[in-house]
Structure 1
Amino acid sequence: MKSARFYFKCLGVIMMLFMIGCGEPKKSGKENAESPEVLSPQDTLSIEEVQVSRVEKVPLKSLEGLADTTFVRLADYSDDFVYDMRYATDNNFLKEQVYDCAECYTRVKTAKALLAANKEFVSKGFKIKFFDCYRPNSVQYKMWAIVPNPQYVANPVKGSIHNKGGAVDITLVTLEGEELDMGTDFDFFGKRAYHDNLDLPQHILENRLLLKETMEKYGFWSIRTEWWHYNLSAGSNDKVANFKWDCP
């Protein structure tokens, strides 16, 4: 009897020692992976990136109901334009940045004409690329101080149609973004940039003609010395403006 009690007592001690040594049962790797307590920093970053990628783009605005003389930011109304706003860089004839940031503003009536013209360009495999749009009159004074020649720069006392939101400096690019050869860079002051200079390769003349005829079809007119410059006929009588747009 005493032997039996001793046997069971020893067995109980052995079982307690076994349980202490083994501890709690371990969870499987799958259970650990699903627990939010074991997410690594990399996993957390991935979750945040997915959430950001699901943010929907704000729909483009409509010009309907706006007065023709209202100034608008063109990028709010179309994704089909390309921009290289030179005066927001030092890559221009001024050799300095004169805009705080790159934006393209025009009057509503100018924007409507640009949208219509660009729709035709896109149907032919091209897009409008902007070098300059609305220009504050204060910037016009800076330009005049450097090049006081009305053949190239409008006198700021009277103002440029750029200052009125009715002029744009543009070229054409393919739908893939490759610029068409127009014979010179933007703001090249010389005969090679003249519309009436026909002493140029045929493909350059054809590219300029495509730009000119299409823009004129939608109410713009060009100036003799600059293949890139177009004025909206209906914008000539608007007032000169000097507001500066907000930057992000």
Structure 2
Amino acid sequence: MKKILFLFLLFCSAGTKAQKNNPYGLQIINDLKAYREYVKADSSKELLELKKYIPGIKLDIRYATKNNFTGQAVYKQARAFARRPVTEALKNVQDELKKSGLGLKIFDGYRPYTVTTKFFAIANDKSFVANPKDGSRHNRGCAIDLTLINLKTGKELAMPTPYDSFAPEAASDFKNLPEEVIKNRELLQTVMEKNNFRVLNNEWWHFDFIGWRNFELMDIPFEDL
């Protein structure tokens, strides 16, 4: 109870700064000092860099390049982070896949809130991007965009669409696909769901951690972490 009260008072004290320039009145942690205080009180709040904590995991951070739906680099650094329990769950996924000669490739993890507002302004189809009035589960460090790779060759397994596709085939239950593709997609969903993730309906690559509601929206850039 004392821990919960401490976190509540901490959030209230940071509230004015957190809501600055935010038209939706959302509580968003955009102060590095406040973030560190949260982590000190609750280690599960820490954003861990995936590459440092999960052996063999591969990165393809598209938003640090122009190879994404915006056509521009929106991250200054090609890095991927997630909250501690999310990272631990992903490590379990990686360990299980390794037994079959497979692994994970990460496209995106924690995403600063300002990037979400930028995406919403750019995207023509708003159903594929989070509305900044609510924030994104990526902003909470609890959503992961990923796919499967063959560890020996490094090649991605065949999936319904490329990453960030707005096509109807990107839906997690789209059926008119080759048998191999459906099998690969089902494998990905099965191993992720076993480790407390749930796939997003219209994006086969996007998985939300079940405990995402326990984590605050964040707007701290990668270079400060």
> Given the two structures, how large is their TM-score scaled by the length of structure 2?
0.78
Aligned counterpart in structure 1 of residue 174 of structure 2, from 190, 197, 205: 197
Give unpaired runs (5+ residues) of structure 1.
1-65
Q: How many residues align?
A: 184
1:180 matched to 2:146:
no
In 1, the alpha carbon distance for the partners of 2:218 and 2:212 equals 12
Secondary structure class of the residue paired with 1:161: coil
Aligned counterpart in structure 2 of residue 152 of structure 1, from 105, 123, 128: 128
**2:189 matched to which residue of 1?**
212
Map 1:33-112 to 2 at 5 A.
Answer: 67-112=43-88
In 1, the alpha carbon distance for the partners of 2:210 and 2:203 equals 17
**2:119 matched to which residue of 1?**
143
Which runs of 4 or more aligned residues in structure 1 lie more than 4 Å from their structure 2 counterparts after TM superposition?
A: none
Higher Cα Rg: structure 1 or 2?
A: 1
1:243 matched to 2:220:
yes
1:231 matched to 2:201:
no
Identity, in percent, stands at 36
| Distance apart, 1:223 and its partner CA | 1.1
Give unpaired runs (5+ residues) of structure 2.
1-41
Q: Which amino acid aligns with 2:93?
A: A
Q: Tell which has more relative contact order, 1 or 2 (C-alpha 8 A, sep 6+).
A: 2
CA deviation profile, 1:74-110 (whole Å, cap 9, x unmatched): 1111221011000000000010000001001110010
In 1, the alpha carbon distance for the partners of 2:176 and 2:104 equals 25
| Distance apart, 1:69 and its partner CA | 1.2
1:127 matched to 2:127:
no
Secondary structure class of the residue paired with 1:165: coil
Q: Is contact 2:54–2:94 with CA below 8 Å preserved after alignment?
A: no
> Given the two structures, how large is their TM-score scaled by the length of structure 1?
0.71
**What's the Cα RMSD here?**
1.8
**2:7 matched to which residue of 1?**
none
